[in-house]
Amino acid sequence: NAGVMQNPRHLVRRRGQEARLRCSPMKGHSHVYWYRQLPEEGLKFMVYLQKENIIDESGMPKERFSAEFPKEGPSILRIQQVVRGDSAAYFCASSPGTGTGQEKLFFGSGTQLSVL
Amino acid sequence: KQEVTQIPAALSVPEGENLVLNCSFTDSAIYNLQWFRQDPGKGLTSLLLIQSSQREQTSGRLNASLDKSSGRSTLYIAASQPGDSATYLCADKLNSGYSTLTFGKGTMLLVSP
């Protein structure tokens, strides 16, 4: 059973370009979370999705950022018109559910985004 | 707003020492608290999860305790090894349901042979 898979591992973009980060949750997991880790900062929650639904996007900037988790395929975090301040490690996590015993998160290895 | 603080930010010890990592949180009404390990360039690995009704959890050489009333948790590592070198993160969850964790900035541990 493969773990949470994120790709690419490293992504370099110039200012103004688009960044697309992909996350495939663990098999059997239908809950996906995106977190961002800025340099010298702790991980911050961005968005929580279930299949085809955004449940909580309270941690995601209102502009330029969007997320989806389609019925088929990986979850995508999309950043339009990237700026240098978007440079960070973006982590995806998944869980099988939200009830007691199901809420433990399994994290991917992250995507390191560098904006030149 | 929940805040999680970890002390110290960095710790260097010789192999074999027992050590304690500290985590404090401002809102004591947590649902659970987790300790994670983060290796450079890799994701997070969950080490221990303590429910709010529990006082401690143990796994091998690791023991995590939780004192909700004082807003503190500790991670005790016995007989440390160089392979324990990593950044240790604590994170709490305020409510049941989906897991929007609040993370501390971590303690970077170096165990020298």
Please write the tens of the pLDDT for every residue from A75-100. Answer: 999 999 999 999 999 999 998 877 76
Q: What is the DSSP letter of A105?
A: -
* Cβ contact B85:B21 at 8 Å: no
Residue whose C-alpha is closest to residue B37's, from B66, B64, B72: B64
Torsions phi, psi for B19 (to 5 deg)? -145, 160
Test A48 with B100 for CB contact under 8 angstroms.
Answer: yes
pLDDT value for B99: 67
pLDDT value for A48: 95
Can you tell me the distance from the alpha carbon of A27 to that of A82, in angstroms, rounded to the nearest whole number? 31
> Distances from the Cα of A54 to the Cαs of A33, A48, A68, in angstroms?
10, 6, 7
pLDDT at A1 over 60: no
Does B101 lie at the interface with A, CB-CB under 8 angstroms? yes
Please write the tens of the pLDDT for every residue from A28-67. Answer: 888 999 999 998 888 999 999 998 899 999 999 999 999 9
Can you tell me the distance from the alpha carbon of B57 to that of B61, in angstroms, rounded to the nearest whole number? 11
| Terminal-residue alpha carbon distance, chain A | 36
pLDDT value for A105: 85
Task: Give B-chain residues touching A6 at CB under 8 angstroms.
Answer: 43
Test A98 with B98 for CB contact under 8 angstroms.
Answer: yes
Largest CA distance in chain A: 43
CB atoms within 10 A of CB B99: 22
pLDDT value for A100: 66
Residue whose C-alpha is closest to residue A91's, from A11, A18, A6: A6
What is the average per-residue pLDDT within B86-110? 89
* Cβ contact A102:A96 at 8 Å: yes
Of all residues in chain A, the one with the smallest CA distance to B43 is: A109
> To probe the interface with B, which of A21, A95, A105 has the most B CB atoms within 10 Å?
A105
**Scanning the structure block, which residue is given the tokens 């983060």?**
B38
**Scanning the structure block, which residue is given the tokens 């390990």?**
B37
CA of B64 to nearest chain A CA: how many angstroms apart?
16
pLDDT value for A104: 78
Test A56 with B100 for CB contact under 8 angstroms.
Answer: yes
Q: How distant is the alpha carbon of residue B100 from its chain centre?
A: 17
Please write the tens of the pLDDT for every residue from B35-91. Answer: 999 998 788 899 999 999 999 999 999 999 999 999 999 999 999 999 999 999 999
Can you tell me the distance from the alpha carbon of B42 to that of A111, in angstroms, rounded to the nearest whole number? 10
Of all residues in chain A, the one with the smallest CA distance to B105 is: A42
pLDDT at A68 over 80: yes
**Scanning the structure block, which residue is given the tokens 């059997």?**
A28
Residue whose C-alpha is closest to residue A81's, from A15, A13, A12: A15
